[in-house]
Amino acid sequence: MNFDDTPQEAAFRETARRWVAANAPKEFEQELSKSSLGRIRLAKHDMVEVGKAWQKKKAEGGWACLHWPKEYGGRGATPIERVIWQQEEGVYGKLTQPFQIGEGMCGPTVMAWGSEDAKRRYLPKLAAGEEIWCQLFSEPSAGSDVAGLRTRAEKNGDNWVVNGQKIWTSGAHYSDFGLLIARTDPNVPKHKGLTMFFLDMKSPGVEVRPIKQANGMQEFNEVYFTDVVIPDSQRLGAVGEGWSVSLTTLMNERMSIGSRLATGMPELFELCSNLMLEDGLAIDDPAVRSKLASWAVKSSGLKYTSYRAISSLSKGERPGPENSIGKLVSGMMLQDIATYAMDLQGAAGVLTGVDEETAQGQFQQMLLSSPSMRIAGGTDEILRNIIAERVLGLPGDIRVDKDVPYNKIPTKGR
């Protein structure tokens, strides 16, 4: 048992480290280091432009999407090399945020289901950050039950005509392409009538509107489709096979090993180490210590769980199911920690200003943003179902709409 690299891994790390040292945009290092929670913002620069420049440089150096085959813009690297790269990329990895949906979900789907022509045309540009992709799955009436989606695609000659609405689309406003799942046959049960496409986000009839979220920010979009034309050549997989195609995408969403999820623990520990309560430092209070310790072991448990997964990759094995707990644990922690940190601040905990003396409003922002962590990318409830069914082998939920044609499924509760 050890935490050391193998000689090959150490050599690879050294190469990566040298390249990062020579090429990274150091002028942003400090700003990027500071923002540990939530979306990244740069004070004087456009995040997407800075990100694109970094991604382009990486692609030229052979460090973009490095686990992809070379012919599609990658480096043919092993899974463990990808993890090592992420560790060495460090804070600059935050600049790749606009490309993560494309790299992590759209790209792998095109790779698995696209034609050779499509792969050669789209993947290298996606890898290099030249073209940004978004994912158009969720709808106002289809979140956890995404197979219940309503957006229609109807065949018209060699084209498809799309009408409907998507929601929670990160980056739709700066994306060049989108991966779209739509209903092509409402007369069959819901999973069977779906088809996957990709489209040019500049197509006529595509309208992107920002959503004002519960935390007051605007990070996601709604996307409306009015008679949008998509050529049949941009279909991925067979007509009616969209559900299987989407599983490729969603599996990739949950496979991000080695990416550290924010828990709020380092921030809370720092707060408690400095915050004076009536009887002294918060961290000297037995009640505070007990809470802190319980969260600390969750946080370290997550860290070492990801180390176990990395170790499997290092041995060339498939990681076990342990990593599925990451988002479930960290999402709840973030919310609980935010609530507790505010409680420690007493009446002043209600204030959200960035010039407030205690923690500059960061826990208040954490509180307001944290509900989304428990919903996006699989709700806590869906994640528990996944653990129960795929890890523990318990039966799937009974689906009352399983054999019912989609257009016969009730659409209103009352």
Residue positions annotated with a catalytic role = 253
Q: For residue 273, state whether it binds another protein (rule: CB under 8 A).
A: yes
Output 350 or 392, the one with its CB closest to another protein.
392
From CA 291, how far away is CA 161, in angstroms rounded? 55
Q: For residue 257, state whether it binds another protein (rule: CB under 8 A).
A: no
Three-state secondary structure of 176-192 = CEEEEEEECCCCCEHHH
Choose, by CB under 8 A, the member of 55, 165, 175, 314 that binds another protein.
Answer: 314
Choose, by CB under 8 A, the member of 11, 214, 391, 409 that binds another protein.
Answer: 391
Output 30 or 290, the one with its CB closest to another protein.
290
Stretch that binds another protein, among 63-71, 364-372, 377-385, 406-414 (CB under 8 A): 377-385
Stretch that binds another protein, among 124-132, 148-156, 333-341, 381-389 (CB under 8 A): 381-389
Output 245 or 262, the one with its CB closest to another protein.
262
Choose, by CB under 8 A, the member of 157, 392, 411, 413 that binds another protein.
Answer: 392
Output 239 or 388, the one with its CB closest to another protein.
388
From CA 267, how far away is CA 218, in angstroms rounded? 24
From CA 229, how far away is CA 161, in angstroms rounded? 5
Choose, by CB under 8 A, the member of 37, 254, 269, 371 that binds another protein.
Answer: 269
Residues between 100 and 159 with contacts to another protein, criterion CB under 8 A:
none
From CA 18, how far away is CA 12, in angstroms rounded? 10
Residue 155 CB coordination number (10 Å): 12
Q: For residue 22, state whether it binds another protein (rule: CB under 8 A).
A: no
Q: For residue 398, state whether it binds another protein (rule: CB under 8 A).
A: yes
Q: For residue 7, state whether it binds another protein (rule: CB under 8 A).
A: no
Minimal distance, residue 385 CB to another protein, in Å: 6
Q: For residue 289, state whether it binds another protein (rule: CB under 8 A).
A: yes
Structure tokens at 65: 């999407």
From CA 219, how far away is CA 213, in angstroms rounded? 8
Stretch that binds another protein, among 94-102, 166-174, 176-184, 393-401 (CB under 8 A): 393-401
- Using an 8 Å Cβ cutoff, are 194 and 244 in contact? no
Q: How large is the greatest C-alpha to C-alpha distance in the chain, in angstroms?
A: 77
Q: For residue 301, state whether it binds another protein (rule: CB under 8 A).
A: yes
Choose, by CB under 8 A, the member of 5, 31, 200, 219 that binds another protein.
Answer: 5
Binding residues for another protein, total number by CB under 8 A: 50
From CA 221, how far away is CA 139, in angstroms rounded? 11
Beta strands in 171-283 (DSSP E): 177-183, 194-200, 206-210, 220-231, 235-236, 276-277, 280-281
Q: How many residues does the chain have?
A: 414
**Cβ density class 324-357: b for 16+ within 10 Å, e for less:** bbbbbbbbbbbbbbbebbbebbeeebeebeeeee
Residue 184 φ then ψ, to 5°? -105, -10
Interacting residue ranges for another protein, rule: CB under 8 A = 1-5, 9, 269, 273, 283, 286, 289-290, 292-294, 296-298, 300-305, 307-308, 310-312, 314-315, 322, 325, 328-329, 381, 383-385, 387-389, 391-398
